[in-house]
Amino acid sequence: MNHWLAIVGMMLLTVLIRASFLVFGQRLAFPDWLNRALHYVPPAVLSALVVPMALAPGGSIDISLRNAYLPGIIVAALVAWKSGKTLLAILVSFVVYGLWRWGLGG
Contact 63, 74 (CB under 8 A): no
Site string for another protein, 37-76 (x = CB under 8 A): xxxxxxxxxxxxxxxxxxxx--x-x------xx--xx--x
Check binding of 14 to another protein (CB under 8 A).
yes
Distance set, CA 5 to CA 9, 10, 14, 15, 84 (Å): 6, 9, 14, 15, 40
Q: Shortest gap between Cβ of 34 and another protein (angstroms)?
A: 7
Indicate the residue among 11 and 65 with the shorter CB distance to another protein: 11
Q: Number of C-alpha atoms within 13 angstroms, CB side, residue 58?
A: 8
Check binding of 77 to another protein (CB under 8 A).
yes
Binders in 81-100 for another protein, by CB under 8 A: 81, 84, 86-87, 89-90, 93-94, 97-98
